[in-house]
Amino acid sequence: MNLISKYASLVKFSHTIFAMPFALISFTYAIKTAPESLSQSNPYWWATLLVQVVLCMVFARNVAMGFNRWADRKIDAQNPRTASREIPAGKISPRAALWFVGINAVLFIIVAATINWLTAALSPVALGVIMAYSYCKRFTSMAHLVLGLSLAIAPVGAYIAVRGEFALEPCILALLVLTWCGSFDIIYALQDQEFDRKNGLHSIPAKFSTRTALGISTGLHVISIATLVWYASFLPQNWLTWTGAALFAAIIVAEHILVTPTRQRNIGIAFGTLNGLASTTLALFFIASILLA
């Protein structure tokens, strides 16, 4: 395994697909609803900005996962499910992982500072939130929602990168991401339910029964779908918008069909495959709807 693949595995780079599609939806919406004055001098003014946003997403993701793996290295070493991760397995040293986090944090702040004053000012705040998550499960069962908040920063940040201001629409999309991510993280945490209980770690599955944890997950997903409909009401009202919303909702329902209190062998499929499919599908339909309107 070469160095790049080691670090890509450390941060689970493939999981970028969870937040990136929502950032791209928000970015596209911001571009299409921007004042005409922004495009009068250069019709392709958004291209450089898109590169900056994607870079910020990648650097932030690297910080979040790299720091999480560093902070959890001792816990991961004790858990049979996570003992093979890069740091406890000795593939990457804790010192090297921390250097990786520091370099990506600096790059994130630098790129954010080149966009506008608000992204520059908020970049340390964003880093604080995504790094704080790593310690939440040591004292609160609400860690799942903090993870959701970490991902929810993406659509708001992408909108601010374009418009230099807050708005209702990206905040609605952020609420969707927060509840959607918090819900599927509860499902994912079922794998460590007994380990967390024995080691004093906090999670919804560790605090409650499996049935109750899945009930809370379902409740959060209901909020996600309601928020999805709310956000879709701001988009062009065509078949692309509502087909995308329907498919996203159907995939969420499929997660709860695959994972039940008595059947948990499909957690990997529900967590990784279905959520990646849900975010990508929604982005394809929503972005197409916005661009073709």
The full set of domain ranges for the chain reads 3-292
Q: What is the pLDDT of residue 7?
A: 73
What phi and psi values does residue 263 have, to the nearest 5 degrees?
-140, 110
User: pLDDT averaged over the chain?
Assistant: 93
Give dist(CA 164, CA 162) in Å, integer: 6
The encoded tokens of residue 78 equal 């004790």
Q: What is the pLDDT of residue 230?
A: 98
CATH of domain 3-292: 1.10.357.140
Question: pTM here?
Answer: 0.94
Q: What is the pLDDT of residue 11?
A: 67
**Structure-derived torsion over alpha carbons of residues 258, 263, 267, 273, reported in degrees to the nearest 10:** -20
Name the amino acid, one letter, at 1.
M
Residues of the chain with pLDDT under 50: none
Residue 222, SS3 per DSSP: helix
